[in-house]
Amino acid sequence: MKHTRSTDIALLLIRLVFGFSMLYGHGWGKLERLFSGEPIDFSDPFGLGPVVSLALVVFAEALCSALLMLGWFTRWALLPLIVTMLVAIFYAHFGDPFGRWEKALLFLSVFISLLLTGPGWFSLDARYRKGI
């Protein structure tokens, strides 16, 4: 897909803001929790156990968010983030008032949009494709 320079700058800004917000606001605390040594009590929507469920969420919210900011394996990194936001909306916050799942919906909409558009020119994916 061909983008204009302003579109590429907008995609970079969106990747950086939403990737950082997810990493810092959600993933980092869960990463610390995972390695704290304390007993883990975490939602287990797929029946894998709370430790595995937390590890999968940390993978998405920390590692995949970092990849999103870099624009490296962007579309692959977005898939776990999208699944995590779907679980947050339809499992963790199902039946809650709108304000409790609104943030997950906003993240989900941005992640799906980036999946459709790609990361843009200012990304490691674009450099790799160009052979730079």
pLDDT tens by residue, 91-116: 999 999 999 999 999 999 999 999 99
Query: What is residue 1's DSSP assignment?
Result: -
DSSP of 33-54, one letter per residue?
Answer: HHTS-SPP----TTSS-HHHHH
Spans in the chain with pLDDT lower than 50: 132
Q: What pTM was computed for the model?
A: 0.93
Domain ranges of the chain: 5-130
Residue of 65, 30, 66, 64 whose CA lies nearest to 50: 30
